[in-house]
Amino acid sequence: MHEMSLAEGILQIVEDAARSQGFKRVKEVRLEIGALSGVEADALTFCLDVVLKGGVADGARVELEKLPGRGFCLDCGETVIIEALYDACPKCGGYQVQTTGGTEMRVKDLLVE
């Protein structure tokens, strides 16, 4: 399950920020997850519940903001929303769509004390 390693990476980001900025507790962790990132949101939330226990983010609320998949169609020249990698262009039906967004996952911000 790669969501566990992602959760551990998020924990590291949170702990590094706490050390460098001197806060004692994280009340909320907000994440952005692209629709094309391959991250299973429920599994990530479960893993975060496990790895955040006992640290500065123990009991923190985790908020996931889902970002749409985006692509640029080489056939029609349009920027489009796509549901999955390798989907056809929803405007022209062509398959020459280059992914331009929605593959990312990042810690957007932290609410701290």
Q: What is the pLDDT of residues 20-48, one digit of tens each?
A: 999 999 999 999 999 999 999 999 999 99
Work out the angle at residue 10's Cα, subtended by the Cα atoms of residues 60 and 13, and round it to the nearest 5 degrees: 100
Q: Are 92 and 78 in contact (CB under 8 A)?
A: yes
Encoded amino acid at 46, one letter: F
5 Cβ contact partners less than 8 Å away, ≥ 6 residues apart:
none
Fold entry, domain 2-68+102-112: hypothetical protein PF0899 fold (3.30.2320)
Spell out the domain ranges in the chain: 2-68+102-112
Neighbours of 84 (CB within 10 A): 9
Q: What is the pLDDT of residues 79-101, one digit of tens each?
A: 999 999 999 999 999 999 999 99
- Outline where the chain has alpha helix (H): 2-21, 41-51
- 1 pLDDT exceeds 60? no
Give me the sheet containing 79-82, strands edge to edge: 79-82, 69-73, 97-101
